[in-house]
Structure 1
Amino acid sequence: MTVHPDYAYWAAALEGTFGPVHDGDAQCGFYRRRLYKDGPFVPVAIWRGEDGKLVALVDQRAADAADIWTWVCDKPITEAQYRAVVAGERWHDEPPAPALSNMPTDPFEALKIELAAEHEIAAEYLKAPVTTQDQANQIAVLTKRLSGLKSRATDLHKVEKQPFLDGGRKVDDKWRDLKEEPDTLSKKLKRHLDAYLQEQQRLENERRRKAQEEADRVRRKAEEAARQAAAANDDAARAEAERLEHEAAAKTKEAEARNASAGRTGARVALRTFVSANITDFDALLLALKDRPEIRECVESLANRAAKSGVELPGMTIASEQRAA
């Protein structure tokens, strides 16, 4: 089909070939543009009037073709699409607009209604596979619209929550020192006690050792006395053996551990044993822990990070798949 020279740029642009663009040098054709950020597209027509001068309509309103040119030059549409939209139809690559009327003034409630309407539109698309480019375009636009809804919800959530966050920070700041400094000072005092309690524990261990030795000595003596009493059938000897057994039991009780401590019941500080690992062979330990879920999760995270950087490490390959995003 022969194209009038005035429409050559537009015809080529419809095929994906964009010619040189110069500010103010508008070209005849049919286009679309947004009147504000993230606003809906409106139809644009540019043609030459009977006097040879360029005429432009933006959303059926007269406009200066030179002024709008750079806003529309990369958004050509067919004449059929232009006339359909002017007649009240929706853009072929956009999903139906959500049916919204008599919306509440509360932005939270309004967004809930808008999301419910978008759910209904999405449900229609999800009923059947995508088979045309127009359907694909409409779904893509719908996902963009949902992202915009999420952004608005996020912004409104932040605004509503911010006073509580600010108030919480003020409360935290007010009480922070009174909450943290006692603990810090308490730990400092406990560390100051360490040397004393460790020495007391050393003395206690020495006392226990000697007490246990004495208990063992008395027990051996009691056992020997019991054997002699049994052999001699002597009541006095048996009584002495029993006395020695009681003495051995008492000394064994005396040899029981007493942890070094300071303070009183309810306010006692004592030595406690804190256990931690001292890694002597990292590779061997890693091999022993390799089947633990948290280790696998950590390794997978590091491997994914390497894969995204294009680094293929021993023991892994880089896999890729294409998904709509």
Structure 2
Amino acid sequence: MAITNVQTLPKEADHGGIGHNKPPVEIEAKAAFDELVDADPKLRTRINQFIVPVKSDDGQEIPFINRVKVTSEESLGMAASTVKQIRTCMTMINAAHKEAKQPYLDGGRIVDAEKNALFAPLSDLKAAIEGKQSAYVRDRENARRKREAEEQAKAAKIERERQEAAAKAEADRLAAIEAGKPAPEPEPEPEPTPAYVAPVEKKKEPVRGYDGTVASTTMVKVPTVTDYAAAFAMVQSNAKVKEAIDKAVASLVKAGITEIPGVTITEEAKVVNR
């Protein structure tokens, strides 16, 4: 049954809504985060000593990393202590971030659930209708192709029968001559059957809905991989394919597999600060 009428949704009055007198969310969220970070009065100072450059006697700014020298076992241990301090700051920042963000996450989940309750059935219905549209135009195109194939086969059959009849008549004539009999008068050879040429279909005009919505048809190419090895040979230079291979190989190595064709595995020293 076709849809005959859809009511236009009324435009709601412009009200401030719940919490319209609250500060903007970006200000409120930042204030909540800052409050949690500043709950430890020393945290900002410790963070700043790592991220704020210090000035040298000649006024040049020196980033903290420039003051870290790892040239001996002793300085290696000192760097480990520094990393531990930085990690402590990061842990506290993450804790503040999680706590400040949680109310917004909870609210977001509630809004997502409400949105999905309304959106999902509409999305499913839209997909179902579009599926019926696609099935119709697909069947229409398949029927057209079938008609063309049948007409081509019919024309080919007629031409084949014509050629077979001409060949038989010629064979009968030659046989009569060989037997010393009067050769039969050759029948006028029918004109060759012209090859079937599919009619040029008139371009289908877009179909308009009752409210002016346009439904048009287009042909799209849909790939189906039938030989992954051959397909891979075609796309192996693609950057995303290489990235996927690197990740897959790394996961195999992490799992303990060390014999992988085409892969060289080496050992590198890595520092672990505990």
For normalisation by structure 2, the TM-score amounts to 0.53
The equivalent of 1:108 in structure 2 is 37
1:145 to 2:85 alignment:
yes
The equivalent of 2:252 in structure 1 is 306
CA contact (8 A) 1:197 1:261 kept: no
CA contact (8 A) 1:262 1:268 kept: yes
The equivalent of 2:188 in structure 1 is none
Name the SS of the counterpart of 2:120 in structure 1.
Answer: helix
Bigger drift between 164-173 and 280-289 goes to: 280-289
Name the SS of the counterpart of 1:319 in structure 2.
Answer: coil
The equivalent of 1:285 in structure 2 is 231
Map 1:44-83 to 2 at 5 A: none
Mark the runs of 5 or more structure 1 residues left unpaired by the alignment: 1-104, 209-253
Give, in angstroms, the shift of residue 256 of structure 1: 2.3
The one-letter amino acid of 2:250's match is N
Would the alpha carbon gap of residues 164 and 202 (structure 1) be closer, same or farther in structure 2, given more than 3 Å must change? same
Mark the runs of 5 or more structure 2 residues left unpaired by the alignment: 1-33, 55-61, 149-199
Per-residue deviation, residues 123-157 of structure 1 (Å, max 9, x unmatched): 66743643444332222111111111101100110
Give, in angstroms, the shift of residue 174 of structure 1: 1.1
Q: Which of residues 66, 70, 74 in structure 2 aligns to 1:134?
A: 74
Distance in structure 1 (CA, Å) of the matches to 2:140 and 2:210: 16
CA contact (8 A) 1:125 1:139 kept: no
CA contact (8 A) 1:130 1:136 kept: yes
Map 1:209-228 to 2 at 5 A: none
Distance in structure 2 (CA, Å) of the matches to 1:255 and 1:192: 23
1:321 to 2:261 alignment:
no
Distance in structure 2 (CA, Å) of the matches to 1:260 and 1:204: 18
The one-letter amino acid of 2:94's match is T
Distance in structure 1 (CA, Å) of the matches to 2:65 and 2:135: 74
Give, in angstroms, the shift of residue 313 of structure 1: 0.4
1:157 to 2:119 alignment:
no
Alignment length, in residue pairs?
178
CA contact (8 A) 2:206 2:214 kept: no
The one-letter amino acid of 1:263's match is G
Bigger drift between 175-184 and 124-133 goes to: 124-133
Distance in structure 1 (CA, Å) of the matches to 2:140 and 2:205: 9
Name the SS of the counterpart of 1:191 in structure 2.
Answer: helix
Considering only aligned residues, what root-mean-square deviation do their CA atoms show, in Å?
3.6
The equivalent of 1:39 in structure 2 is none
Distance in structure 2 (CA, Å) of the matches to 1:138 and 1:310: 33
The equivalent of 1:17 in structure 2 is none
Per-residue deviation, residues 255-302 of structure 1 (Å, max 9, x unmatched): 522168463564233444343212232212111111111111111111
The one-letter amino acid of 1:171's match is V
Would the alpha carbon gap of residues 134 and 265 (structure 1) be closer, same or farther in structure 2, given more than 3 Å must change? same
Name the SS of the counterpart of 2:209 in structure 1.
Answer: strand
For normalisation by structure 1, the TM-score amounts to 0.46
Name the SS of the counterpart of 1:155 in structure 2.
Answer: helix
Would the alpha carbon gap of residues 205 and 291 (structure 1) be closer, same or farther in structure 2, given more than 3 Å must change? closer
Give, in angstroms, the shift of residue 175 of structure 1: 1.5
Map 1:17-28 to 2 at 5 A: none
Distance in structure 2 (CA, Å) of the matches to 1:288 and 1:125: 45
Would the alpha carbon gap of residues 115 and 287 (structure 1) be closer, same or farther in structure 2, given more than 3 Å must change? same
CA contact (8 A) 1:260 1:270 kept: yes
Map 1:128-277 to 2 at 5 A: 129-200=69-140, 255-258=201-204, 261=207, 263-264=209-210, 266-277=212-223
Would the alpha carbon gap of residues 317 and 289 (structure 1) be closer, same or farther in structure 2, given more than 3 Å must change? same
Distance in structure 1 (CA, Å) of the matches to 2:128 and 2:70: 68
Would the alpha carbon gap of residues 194 and 292 (structure 1) be closer, same or farther in structure 2, given more than 3 Å must change? closer
The one-letter amino acid of 1:287's match is A
Name the SS of the counterpart of 1:314 in structure 2.
Answer: coil
Larger radius of gyration: 1
CA contact (8 A) 1:260 1:271 kept: yes
